[in-house]
Amino acid sequence: MVMFKASRVETTPFDGQKPGTSGLRKKVKVFTQPNYLHNFVQSTFNALSAAKVKGATLVVSGDGRYFSKDAIQIIIKMSAANGVRRVWVGQNGLLSTPAVSAVIRERVGADGSKASGAFILTASHNPGGPHEDFGIKYNMENGGPAPEAITDKIYENTKTLKEYFIAEDLPDVDISATGITSFRGPEGEFDVDVFDSATDYVKLMKSIFDFQSIQKLLACPNFTFCYDALHGVAGAYAKPIFVDELGAQESSLINCTPKEDFGGGHPDPNLTYAKELVTRMGLNKEHPQDNPPEFGAAADGDADRNMVLGKRFFVTPSDSVAIIAANAVQAIPYFSSGLKGVARSMPTSAALDVVAKHLNLKFFEVPTGWKFFGNLMDAGLCSVCGEESFGTGSDHIREKDGIWAVLAWLSILAFRNKDNLDGKTLVTVEDIVRQHWATFGRHYYTRYDYENVDAGSAKELMAHLVKLQSSLPEVNKIIKGIQSDVSAVVKADEFEYKDPVDGSISKHQGIRYLFEDGSRLVFRLSGTGSEGATIRLYIEQYEKDSSKTGRDSQEALAPLVGVALKLSKMHEFTGRSAPTVIT
């Protein structure tokens, strides 16, 4: 057995190693500075209780972006020197964020071991490559991101760190082949267990969904399917699940080879960045398609986000979670005994609220960020949740789950078509959405993103909007002057949340203008960008009259958009006459 020593290396702190709940995200050139990653990893070890380090089992993997392989070797060597007992690595360093969550919760090692945490190496939907982003975040033993108490402690540690520990003489471990390699160090044996990236996750999915019914749907001659992994880690799951288990054609998978630079693209599944899929699905007016697939979906770099499309039809994430909640009990075996409750983030449309009311379900509106759902789930209060930012998931794990969302939609389609698989008239994605609107009403919804705006100007715009809120008569006077036929603002505030489980209060979670007819304007600054500021403007309008739910959403929302842009003085503050992305 190869022996190793633990070396103590002196270091000095770096500024700005403050992790959010999505971890620490920086350009690769920042991460590759000598000691930069080391400092963050040691600060994390020092923030955890000794039991979570000494003798512990840790998962280390990610979306495979540039610098991941080097980072994995560094973290293995530091784990060894810090007394970790074993490190679990997905083959080639690949594990999607939801798969990491599943592995922490479900995987049992050959010797009965269970993981107590994970380093996930990802910058999610941000581009990858030598000039792009890298990221690292720590997840806890419930499978969810470290809570603020831990991330704050990590940050404090980064500011005073003087030393880290590393097994410099430990040879690099071959992570391209599965198997266990054992070493011996000062504190005893240390193992690196490289395992198949998909097995545990596939097993979990099979315990949630009725794979046979989905298989039948995919075998139906006029049900065509397309999945785009945008060269992210979802590609490592797409073939095992959609092709090997469910029988989809291999040609229905596009961009499903994980790449370190995501093929040069922006691995974010939305109408702007998932270009190839959007064109295939017949949604690109410049390239009309004769016969697009019936169902299309995409994932982001680490496969926790999803976009669902029908033939020439976009399903908004806000509608998607509402439709999944409305159909879950009938269509998905995991939920057959009922939903514990449902939840959405504040800027997500109120489509889910209407379903919750109708089904008499517990309902929660939380700030943006998956961690708020995790608390509700750990307390048994929430089964299904979602965000407008293309995140959908359930209490099967503690992260949002891109492939789960696709399987949920395929389950609903399979259920709706179960007596109809002879290939005659298929109930389509669009049918399901339109029927949903006819039953529950429609929340017309759009989001305008202004990316990479000057940070100072973005703050000024937000301050202006907060100031306006002090006088509703003044707000309504301005609005009438812009657009006389929109309803009046009845409430304006900054969203604040008191967590029903731990009682913690989160303030300043977005600026809201709530209208008498249920319409909403919400303004937020993104918490995930890496350059300048991103202003997000969310626009929503509720239509109950089923004869009016079929309009084009941009057209239906145009008056409210006009109000939002003028009320916020968007052009004056940012110099922008159009958003960078519209979803």
Which residues are marked as active site?
A: 124
Using the minimum distance from each CB to ligand G6P, give the nearer residue, 32 or 528. 528
| Strand pairing category for 86-90 and 188-195 | parallel
| Least CB distance to ligand G6P at residue 372 (A) | 8
Query: How many chain residues are in contact with ligand G6P, going by CB under 6 A?
Result: 13
Contact yes or no for 253/214 (Cβ under 8 A): no
- If contact means CB under 5 to 8 A according to the sort of partner, which of ligand G6P, Zn ion, none does residue 443 touch? none
| Least CB distance to ligand G6P at residue 536 (A) | 6
Using the minimum distance from each CB to ligand G6P, give the nearer residue, 73 or 316. 316
Measured CA to CA, the distance from residue 152 to residue 186 in angstroms comes to 31
| Least CB distance to ligand G6P at residue 139 (A) | 12
Using the minimum distance from each CB to Zn ion, give the nearer residue, 124 or 428. 124
**Which window, 228-236, 350-358, 368-376, 432-440, contacts ligand G6P (CB under 6 A)?**
368-376
User: Tokens in use for 369?
Assistant: 């960020």
- If contact means CB under 5 to 8 A according to the sort of partner, which of Zn ion, ligand G6P, none does residue 199 touch? none
389 near ligand G6P, rule: CB under 6 A = yes
Using the minimum distance from each CB to Zn ion, give the nearer residue, 210 or 300. 300
The burial class, CB within 10 Å (0-12 / 13-18 / 19+), for 290 is exposed
Q: What torsion do the CA atoms of 463, 467, 469, 473 make, to the nearest 10 degrees? A: -140
**Which window, 35-43, 85-93, 308-316, 385-393, contacts ligand G6P (CB under 6 A)?**
385-393
C-alpha pair distances (Å), 224 with each of 57, 282, 464, 583: 42, 13, 49, 25
Measured CA to CA, the distance from residue 198 to residue 219 in angstroms comes to 23
| Least CB distance to Zn ion at residue 317 (A) | 13
**Which window, 47-55, 238-246, 362-370, 415-423, contacts ligand G6P (CB under 6 A)?**
362-370
- If contact means CB under 5 to 8 A according to the sort of partner, which of Zn ion, ligand G6P, none does residue 300 touch? Zn ion
Q: Which residues of 124-158 are buried (b: 16+ CB within 10 A; e: fewer)?
A: bbbbbbeebbbbbbbbbebbbbbbeebbebbbebb
C-alpha pair distances (Å), 109 with each of 79, 103, 378, 439: 18, 10, 24, 48
Residues 126-165 as x/- pattern, contact with ligand G6P by CB under 6 A: ----------------------------------------
| Least CB distance to ligand G6P at residue 297 (A) | 17
316 near ligand G6P, rule: CB under 6 A = no
**Which window, 227-235, 333-341, 367-375, 513-521, contacts ligand G6P (CB under 6 A)?**
367-375
527 near ligand G6P, rule: CB under 6 A = yes
- If contact means CB under 5 to 8 A according to the sort of partner, which of ligand G6P, Zn ion, none does residue 181 touch? none
43 near ligand G6P, rule: CB under 6 A = no
**Which window, 62-70, 74-82, 261-269, 525-533, contacts ligand G6P (CB under 6 A)?**
525-533
Binding site for Zn ion (CB under 5 A): 124, 300, 302, 304-305
Using the minimum distance from each CB to Zn ion, give the nearer residue, 193 or 304. 304
**Which window, 99-107, 170-178, 238-246, 520-528, contacts ligand G6P (CB under 6 A)?**
520-528
**Can you list the pairs that 468-475 forms with residues at least 24 positions away whose Cβ atoms lie under 8 Å?**
468/492, 468/567, 469/493, 469/494, 469/511, 469/513, 475/513, 475/567
Measured CA to CA, the distance from residue 166 to residue 16 in angstroms comes to 23
| Strand pairing category for 117-121 and 188-195 | unpaired
Q: Which residues of 376-415 are buried (b: 16+ CB within 10 A; e: fewer)?
A: bbbeebbbbbbbbbbbbbbbbbbbbbbbbbbbbbbbbbbb
536 near ligand G6P, rule: CB under 6 A = yes
User: Tokens in use for 271?
Assistant: 């109408």
Contact yes or no for 120/131 (Cβ under 8 A): no
Using the minimum distance from each CB to Zn ion, give the nearer residue, 233 or 413. 233
Q: H helices then E strands: how many in the chain?
A: 18, 27
- If contact means CB under 5 to 8 A according to the sort of partner, which of ligand G6P, Zn ion, none does residue 447 touch? none
Q: Which of 133, 191, 294, 387 binds ligand G6P (CB under 6 A)?
A: 387
| Least CB distance to ligand G6P at residue 145 (A) | 8
Helix (H) or strand (E) holding 506: strand 505-506
Contact yes or no for 113/76 (Cβ under 8 A): no
Contact yes or no for 184/81 (Cβ under 8 A): no
- If contact means CB under 5 to 8 A according to the sort of partner, which of ligand G6P, Zn ion, none does residue 369 touch? ligand G6P
Q: Which of 528, 546, 553, 580 binds ligand G6P (CB under 6 A)?
A: 528
- If contact means CB under 5 to 8 A according to the sort of partner, which of ligand G6P, Zn ion, none does residue 302 touch? Zn ion
Q: Which of these, 327, 268, 15, lies nearest to 123 by C-alpha position?
A: 268
446 near ligand G6P, rule: CB under 6 A = no
| Least CB distance to ligand G6P at residue 524 (A) | 6
| Least CB distance to Zn ion at residue 302 (A) | 4
C-alpha pair distances (Å), 320 with each of 11, 125, 268, 578: 48, 20, 17, 27
The closest residue (CB) to ligand G6P is 526
Q: Which residues contact 412 (CB under 8 A, 6 or more apart)?
A: 323, 324, 327, 331, 432
Using the minimum distance from each CB to ligand G6P, give the nearer residue, 70 or 148. 148
Longest distance between any two alpha carbons in the chain, whole Å: 79
Residues near ligand G6P, by CB under 6 A:
22, 124, 345, 368-370, 387, 389, 391, 526-528, 536
